[in-house]
Amino acid sequence: MSDLFANARAIAGDIAAGRVSAVEICRQALDRIGRLNTSLNAFNLVTDERALDRAAEIDRLRASGSALGPLAGVPIAVKDNMCVRGMRTTASSRILDSFAPPYDATTIIKLEQAGAVIVGKTNCDEFAMGSSNENSAYGPVRNPWALDRTPGGSSGGSAAAVAASCVPLALGSDTGGSIRQPAAFCGVTGLKPTYGRVSRYGLLAFASSLDQIGPITRGVEDAALALQVLSGPDPMDSTAAHEAVPDFLAGLSREARDVRIGVPRAFVSEGVDASVLAAFDASLDVLRSTGATLVDIDLPHAKYAIPVYYLVCTAEASSNLARYDGVKYGYRSSESSQGLKTMYSKTRDEGFGAEVKRRIMLGTYVLSAGYYDAFYLKAQQVRTLLKQDYEHAFESVDVVVMPTSPIPPFKLGEKTDDPLQMYLADIFTVSVNLVGLPGISVPCGLVDAVGPGGTTRLPIGLQFVGKMFDEATILRVADAFEHATEWSRQLPPL
Amino acid sequence: MAPHVAVYIRHVRARRCPAACPRRERRGTILHVSTPLTIADVERIAALAHLELTEEEKHVFTKQLADILSYAEQLQAIDTTGVAATAHVNAHEAERDDALRPCLPVEEALRNAPDGAPEAGLFRVPRVIG
SS3 B112: coil
Look up residue A265 and give its amino acid.
R
Which residue of A89, A373, A382 to mutate against B (max B Cβ within 10 Å)? A373
Q: What is the 3-state secondary structure (H, E, C) of chain A?
A: CCCCCCCHHHHHHHHHCCCCCHHHHHHHHHHHHHHHHHHHCCEEEECHHHHHHHHHHHHHHHHCCCCCCCCCCCEEEEECCECECCECCCCCCHHHCCCCCCCCCHHHHHHHHCCCEEEEEECCCHHHCCCCCCCCCCCCCCECCECCECCCCCCHHHHHHHHCCCCCEEEEECCCCCCHHHHHHHCCEEEECCCCCECCCCECCCCCCCCCEEEEECCHHHHHHHHHHHECCECCECCCCCCCCCCCCCCCCCCCCCCEEEECHHHHHCCCCHHHHHHHHHHHHHHHHCCCEEEECCCCCHHHHHHHHHHHHHHHHHHHHHHCCCCCCCCCCCCCCCCHHHHHHHHHHHHCCHHHHHHHHHHHHHHCCCCHHHHHHHHHHHHHHHHHHHHHHCCCCCEEEEECCCCCCCECCCCCCCHHHHHHCCCCCHHHHHHCCCEEEEEEEEEEEEECCEEEEEEEEEEEEECCCCHHHHHHHHHHHHHHCCHHHCCCCC
SS3 B63: helix
Is residue B10 predicted with pLDDT exceeding 60? no
Beta bridge partners of A189: A217
What average pLDDT does the structure give for chain A?
Answer: 97
Closest CA to A121 of A73, A153, A75, A88: A88
Give the whole-angstrom CA distance, residue A91 versus residue A99. Answer: 10
Average pLDDT value for residue range A204-229 = 98
* Half-sphere exposure (Cβ direction) of A273: Cα atoms closer than 13 Å: 18
Please write the tens of the pLDDT for every residue from A76-122: 999 999 999 999 999 999 999 999 999 999 999 999 999 999 999 99
Quick check: A442 and A403 in contact, CB under 8 A? no
Is residue A170 predicted with pLDDT exceeding 70? yes
Contact list, A385 vs chain B (CB under 8 Å)? 78, 80, 83
Of A93, A131, A178, A488, the catalytic one is: A178
Give the whole-angstrom CA distance, residue A361 versus residue B65. Answer: 8
Please write the tens of the pLDDT for every residue from B59-96: 999 999 999 999 999 999 999 999 999 999 987 777 88
Which residue of A378, A386, A390, A469 to mutate against B (max B Cβ within 10 Å)? A378
Average pLDDT value for residue range A318-324 = 98
Distance, C-alpha A280 to centroid of its chain: 21
Q: How many CB atoms are closer than 10 A to CB A411?
A: 14
Please write the tens of the pLDDT for every residue from A27-79: 999 999 999 999 999 999 999 999 999 999 999 999 999 999 999 999 999 99
Per-residue model confidence (pLDDT) at position A1: 67
Superfamily of domain A8-254+447-461: Amidase signature (AS) domain (3.90.1300.10)
Q: Confidence band (pLDDT; 50, 70, 90) for B21?
A: very low
Per-residue model confidence (pLDDT) at position B26: 39
Contact: B61, A358; criterion CB under 8 Å: yes
Regarding predicted confidence, which is higher, A4 or A127?
Answer: A127
User: What percentage of chain A reaches a pLDDT higher than 90?
Assistant: 96
Give domain limits for chain A. 8-254+447-461
Per-residue model confidence (pLDDT) at position B105: 94
- A154 as an active site residue: the answer is yes
- Do the strands A293-296 and A213-217 form a parallel or antiparallel pair, or are they unpaired? unpaired
SS3 B69: helix
Look up residue B58 and give its amino acid.
K
The residue in chain B having the minimum alpha-carbon distance to the alpha carbon of residue A435 is B89
Closest residue to A420, CB basis, from B22, B68, B128: B68
Average pLDDT value for residue range A162-180 = 98
Give the whole-angstrom CA distance, residue A460 versus residue A402. Answer: 12
Give the whole-angstrom CA distance, residue A215 versus residue A247. Answer: 16
Closest CA to A347 of B126, B111, B51, B125: B51
Average pLDDT value for residue range A138-145 = 98
- A178 as an active site residue: the answer is yes
Per-residue model confidence (pLDDT) at position A369: 87
Contact: A241, B41; criterion CB under 8 Å: no
Q: Confidence band (pLDDT; 50, 70, 90) for B17?
A: very low
